[in-house]
Amino acid sequence: MSSKAGRRLFFISGFIFLLYSLLIIFSSISTGDFFVGHELVFLGTAVMSFCLSYLYPQFKEDDERSKRIRERGVFFSFLFILGYMIILMPLFQLKIIDLNGYQTVSLLATLAMITVFSSFVVLSKRY
C-alpha cells in the first residue's frame, strides 16, 4: 500500500468514526441518556485514526526513529494514564462524579487511546 493510500484510508476511517461518534452522542443526548460510555470510545477511535493518518509515513518504515517514538510515547502515556487514575480516584471517593463500571472503563480506554496516539504525534515532531 502506498503512503498516500494508507494515509487516506486512516483519514477516511477517522472521519467515519467521528461521524458515528457525533451521531451516537446526539442520539444519547436526545434520549436523555448521555454518557453511556461507548460514544467516547468512538471519539477516541476517531482521534486514533487521525493520528495514524499523520504518522503512517513515519511508522511505515520500521526504523530506529519510529521505534524510539513508540517507546517514548508509551512511556509518557503510561505516566499520564496513572495521573488520570490518581485524579479520578478522589473524584469517585468524594462522590463528585458518579459513573458505573462500564462508563469508567470506557472513559479510561478513551483517555488511553487519545493519550497514546497524541503523544506519538507530539514525539514525532520532536524526534
Question: What is the per-residue pLDDT across 28-87, written as a single tens digit (0 to 9) for each?
Answer: 899 988 788 888 999 999 999 999 999 998 888 888 989 999 999 999 999 999 999 999
Total structural domains within the chain: 1
Domain containing 29 equals 3-126
| Exposed / middle / buried, residue 104 (Cβ in 10 Å: 0-12, 13-18, 19+) | middle
Rg (Cα) of the chain, in Å, rounded? 17
pLDDT, tens only, 9-29:
999 999 999 999 999 999 989
* Residues 113/43, Cβ–Cβ less than 8 Å: no
pTM of the model: 0.88
Could you tell me which residue, 58 or 127, shows the higher pLDDT?
Answer: 58
**pLDDT at residue 1 above 60?**
no
